[in-house]
Chain A
């Protein structure tokens, strides 16, 4: 389990991480979501003892990372796939890592096989493509067979095949009961990978909830209605208590009412429909709205609309 309590990191006048608290439980993938520059990488570096917090603490397996007796057997991390000496072979890189933590030398070949790098194990890491480097980084994280794993933007820059591979791999690790934290700035990607989300903006916690809850609360659905006698249709819908307004392009948009009910109201009024369709707000839009709200808030600008606050409250609950 990863526990972050009141974690704060200041760089000069900038607060990179601001009183952040969350937990990462085993047996599921926890997505660490936030726009670029929101403090995800800094938080991970603080959790891994690479940077020092200005305040608060981060515990892995109940202790600060720097006090772990068996770091690589406890935690596996991939923060940057290029943190490998370019002139060292993939196998040599894993060999020194294994030796430093007294891991059985046989683990090197096992993890190379697991990530599909056996064929290129004796090639210089500097000659690797980003996808291969990413796999080597994952192999290094898996070396000690740890129960806790952290991956920072593991699909960044990968081709579609690589993205699907990483996604499946990460889900597989959680299915084995491990504690997995994966960061990303893409909500749609996290929606496919994570069971639980920790959402941050400007170094602050915006929400921690299940992915389904967050997505539901974040993306608003509406129904688009069109027909030849639009004014009568709008009046009939309003009489039936349906919240309806102009869609902006000559049709109507109804919110908060199931599609079937709108169809029935129209039929009861004897009005023909030329369109009745469901519109789900995109996850990107929702994510930008929610984290944008946070940006405006911290910048001291105008607060977001009431709908956004409602979405936030729901997501936090």
Chain B
């Protein structure tokens, strides 16, 4: 059969083809499945434990409480996202990728779409898992999703995971090495931001502008809360801008660099 070049009748493979290829790549190996499973289990399990413990200690148990530890699953998702690109660099497949899709913005953008979709799905599964388990284990507390606020508190984990994964992917594109990228993403997301928040004086002022704190605020804020960024949705918008900006920088750098 002939699939020869030069024929103008064949449509140029575009972004959709690159996304399909990235999907086959991500699902064709085992480690992303393990990461996804672990992320869901950690988010749901730890969330349920926190809910039960809160109930036993007599604290106020709300829908937001069930999502207090969503960052545990988010950490696993970020590792998966960083690995999606750093393993390509360590195995050399990034060059195969760029040979197949020489427009690097398309290649990396497609990877971002696939990684983000998986991260969002994992976040939703974990969040609803935690909420469902909590509701089942603590039946005497009303954990029903009454309105937009409660829906945001649970489903919002999907959005935050999606953006965290994009940030981790962008860091992976920039750093290229697995250890460096994973350490950077986890230390920043889980440790550094907390410490900055504890700085006397400037800490509280800086906190709303820390990307992962903004994500956390988006998920856990109740209906009355107003931070420096105003509404939780402004916080989400800010996190989105950070993720998009980082990805844009990473793609621009990758375009210029030797593969």
Q: Which residues of A contact B (CB under 8 A)?
A: 45, 48-52, 61, 65-75, 77, 79-80, 82-89, 92, 95-97, 99-104, 106-107, 110, 140, 144-147
Contact = CB atoms under 8 A, between A and B. Distances in A.
Contacts of B12: 69-70
A99 B14 CA distance: 11
B5 interface: yes
A102 to B, nearest CB: 4
B87 A100 contact: no
Contact of A73 (B5, B24, B103): B5
Contacts of B103: 66
Contacts of B200: none
A99 B98 CA distance: 14
Contacts of A102: 10-11, 13, 17
Given A73-B10, A84-B96, A146 B259 contact: no
Interface stretch (B28-36, B49-57, B143-151, B161-169): B28-36
Given A73-B3, A145-B3, A99 B20 contact: yes
Interface of B: 1-6, 10-13, 17-18, 20-22, 24-25, 28-31, 87-88, 91-93, 95-96, 98-103, 256, 258-259
Contacts of A77: 99
- Interface of A: prevailing SS: loop
B99 A110 contact: no
A50 B259 contact: yes
20 contacts: A45-B259, A50-B99, A68-B102, A71-B101, A72-B99, A73-B5, A84-B92, A85-B29, A86-B91, A95-B24, A96-B24, A96-B28, A100-B101, A102-B11, A102-B17, A103-B3, A107-B1, A107-B3, A147-B5, A147-B6
A83 B92 contact: yes
B92 A96 contact: no
A80 B17 CA distance: 24
Contacts of A92: 24, 28
Contacts of B100: 71-72, 97, 100-101
Given A50-B259, A82-B92, A66 B102 contact: yes
Contact of A85 (B6, B21, B87, B102): B87
3 smallest CB-CB distances across A and B, nearest first, come from A100-B21, A83-B92, A96-B24
